[in-house]
């Protein structure tokens, strides 16, 4: 997440990874102020399922780095 390794339980979803990364970010994600993108620049929904080694990036709605 944002180039920081997050170790999380098997079966976790994107929102879980964000919570493990930062509770503040998770709250902003829930409020719709943050969005999650994959390494290819596609938006990933918060309920998306994870694969090992997946790279995700949090961005503010204005596309500023979180």
Partner 1 sequence: MKKRSLVWITGLIVLLSFQGHSQDKIAGKPKEVIILHVNDMHAKIDNLPKLAYLADSLRKTHPYVFLVSAGDNFTGNPVVDMVADKGYPMIDLMNRCGFTVSAFGNHEFDLGQENLNKRLQQAKFPFICCNFDATGTVLKQPKPYLVLEAGNKIHIAVLGIIELNDKGIPDTHPSKVTGIRFYNGITKAKEYSWLKKKYGILIGLTHLGIETDVKLADSMPEFDEIIGGHSHTLIEKPMMENGVMIVQDGSNLNYIGKTTFRIENGRVTARSDEVIPITALHKADSALVELCGKYNRNEEFSKIAGIAETSLKGYDELGSLMTDALTHQLKVDFAFQNRGGIRVFSLPEGPITIKDIYQLDPFGNLVVTFRMKAEEIKSLISYAYNLEKGIDLQVSGMNYRVTSDGQGHCLGVDLFDDSAKSLDPSREYTVAMNSYIAASYRFNHADPGTTGSVTTAEILISYLKEVKKVNYTGVKRAIQIVKP
Q: Give 13's strand partners.
A: 49
> Is residue 14 close enough to count as binding partner 1 by CB under 8 A?
yes
Name the residue among 46, 42, 21 with its Cα closest to residue 33: 46
What span, in angstroms and rounded, lies between the C-alpha atoms of 19 and 14?
Answer: 9
* Binding-site member from 2, 16, 57, 59 for partner 1 (CB under 8 A): 16
Which residues from 33-52 bind partner 1, rule CB under 8 A?
38-40, 42-45, 47-52
Where do contacts with partner 1 occur on this chain (CB under 8 A)? 7-17, 19-20, 23, 26, 38-40, 42-45, 47-55
């Amino acid at each position: 997440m944002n180039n920081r390794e997050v170790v999380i339980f098997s079966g976790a979803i994107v929102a879980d990874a964000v919570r493990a990364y930062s509770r503040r970010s998770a709250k902003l994600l829930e409020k719709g102020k943050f969005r999650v993108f994959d390494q290819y620049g596609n938006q990933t929904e918060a309920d998306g399922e994870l694969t090992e080694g997946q790279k995700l990036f949090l961005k503010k709605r204005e596309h500023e780095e979180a």
